[in-house]
């Protein structure tokens, strides 16, 4: 959340310029206008609100949950944009807790954490769980922002227009909504979600567990020290961003704080070592002419290969035991 808030503060001029272009209806040649993009964003939010209000959700609580999730998502997107690293889960727990806390004062949930099994309680927590990605159990899917930032990072290297990348992503979203989602639900209900050999879907409890706390089961409210942690994070990130922006010698970026985990550090470390060796041995020109195209081709080829193999694996596993073990015990 702190990263998201400070990203907005530090990037104020960027957002101001974009909104000004949208209001003046100006755009770059061959690209979508800012007014169209902001308009699409606004319409998406209105449709989202309308759907959950129809289901019985409290609209004020919906807006609170949405704002928290958007800020959190912006922070995660910034981390990936700066570092290129996929960053853990995407704020489902944080958004859920804020939804409960705010809803307690609005009368939707109980302040002591006991269950509030009502239509409104269900609708608001379901909206939070589904929007904030079920607690991260399906965060590898391409509807999260890491996929889009990764794709846009290839724009310069592949000499594509932003508009073309956007169109390709929009097509992918439509195919996912029209084909992948119905297929996934059919497999889950037909096979039994507890029998699926897939990360995060190995147990139905992993999914429903993010929807039922505070709704049909008692849950533990956040501890008081969580608030102090949030305040400390806000101050720490702000100070680091200020130092990073004002002093060229200050190399530590707040977006690098996620590298505390060995998995992320290992991934980035290997890439850094390869890059340094390439630059040292072959030089900058060779790196730009050979290294970058090689890396881009590898990423695109790996994506295509993974899509084909995992697609075939998903279909085969409907009829026989999965030939590929996908999950914490054998990814």
Over residues 26-71, the pLDDT tens digits come to 877 788 888 999 999 999 999 999 999 999 999 999 999 999 988 9
The domain segmentation of the chain, as residue ranges, is: 2-154+203-254, 261-331
pLDDT of 139 reads: 44
Task: State the Cα–Cα distance between residues 126 and 134, nearest whole angstrom.
Answer: 9
Query: Regarding predicted confidence, which is higher, 281 or 91?
Result: 281
Structure tokens at 308: 């084909």
User: Among 66, 13, 15, 5, which residue's Cα sits nearest to residue 254?
Assistant: 5
pLDDT digits (tens, 9 = 90+) for 145-172: 777 777 777 777 777 888 888 888 888 8
* pLDDT exceeds cutoff 50 at 183: yes
Query: Regarding predicted confidence, which is higher, 130 or 37?
Result: 37
pLDDT of 313 reads: 76
Task: State the Cα–Cα distance between residues 181 and 179, nearest whole angstrom.
Answer: 6
- Share the mean pLDDT of the chain: 80
User: Among 26, 45, 46, which residue's Cα sits nearest to residue 35?
Assistant: 26
Is residue 35 a contact partner of residue 21, using CB atoms and an 8 Å limit?
A: yes
Task: State the Cα–Cα distance between residues 4 and 164, nearest whole angstrom.
Answer: 27
> Helices 162-175 & 145-152, crossing angle to 10 degrees?
150
> Per-residue b/e over 50-71, b at no fewer than 16 CB within 10 Å?
eebeeeebbeebbebbbebbbb
pLDDT digits (tens, 9 = 90+) for 245-279: 888 888 778 887 766 556 667 766 777 788 888 88
Q: Beta partners for 213?
A: 217
H helices of 132-248, in order, are 145-152, 155-158, 162-175, 181-191, 204-208, 224-246
Is residue 192 a contact partner of residue 318, using CB atoms and an 8 Å limit?
A: no
pLDDT of 207 reads: 55
* pLDDT exceeds cutoff 60 at 136: no
> Per-residue b/e over 302-320, b at no fewer than 16 CB within 10 Å?
eeeeeeeeeeebbeebeee
- Mapped onto helix, strand or coil, the DSSP state of residue 213 is strand
H helices of the chain, in order, are 2-10, 12-24, 34-54, 59-83, 92-106, 119-131, 145-152, 155-158, 162-175, 181-191, 204-208, 224-246, 262-286, 292-316
Q: Which residues contact 36 (CB under 8 A, 6 or more apart)?
A: 27
* pLDDT exceeds cutoff 90 at 121: yes
| Count of Cβ atoms closer than 10 Å to residue 251 Cβ | 9
């Amino acid at each position: 959340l702190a990263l998201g808030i400070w990203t907005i503060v530090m990037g104020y001029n960027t957002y101001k310029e974009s909104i000004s272009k949208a209001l003046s209806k100006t755009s770059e040649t061959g690209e979508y206008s800012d007014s169209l993009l902001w308009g699409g964003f606004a319409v998406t939010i209105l449709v989202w609100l309308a759907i959950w209000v129809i289901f019985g959700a409290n609209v004020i609580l919906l807006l609170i949950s949405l704002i928290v999730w958007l800020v959190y998502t912006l922070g995660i997107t910034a981390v990936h944009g700066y570092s290129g690293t996929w960053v853990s889960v995407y704020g489902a727990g944080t958004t859920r807790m804020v939804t409960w806390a705010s809803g307690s004062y609005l009368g939707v949930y109980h302040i002591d954490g006991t269950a509030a099994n009502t239509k409104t309680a269900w609708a608001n927590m379901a909206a939070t769980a589904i929007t904030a990605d079920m607690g991260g159990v399906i965060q590898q899917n391409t509807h999260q922002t890491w996929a889009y930032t990764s794709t846009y990072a290839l724009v310069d290297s592949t000499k594509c227009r932003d508009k073309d990348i956007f169109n390709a992503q929009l097509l992918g979203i439509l195919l996912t909504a029209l084909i992948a989602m119905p297929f996934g639900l059919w497999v889950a209900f037909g096979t039994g979600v507890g029998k699926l050999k897939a990360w995060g879907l190995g147990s139905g409890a992993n999914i429903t567990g993010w929807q039922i706390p505070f709704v049909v089961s008692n849950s533990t409210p956040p501890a008081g020290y969580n608030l102090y942690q949030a305040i400390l994070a806000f101050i720490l990130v702000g100070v680091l961003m200020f130092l990073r922006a004002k002093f060229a010698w200050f190399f530590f970026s707040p977006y690098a704080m996620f590298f505390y985990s060995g998995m992320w550090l290992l991934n980035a470390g290997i890439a850094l070592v390869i890059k340094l060796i390439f630059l040292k041995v072959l030089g900058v020109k060779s790196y730009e002419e050979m290294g970058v195209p090689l890396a881009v081709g590898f990423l695109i080829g790996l994506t295509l290969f993974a899509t084909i193999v995992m697609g075939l694996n998903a279909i085969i596993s409907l009829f026989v035991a999965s030939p590929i073990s996908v999950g914490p015990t054998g990814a």
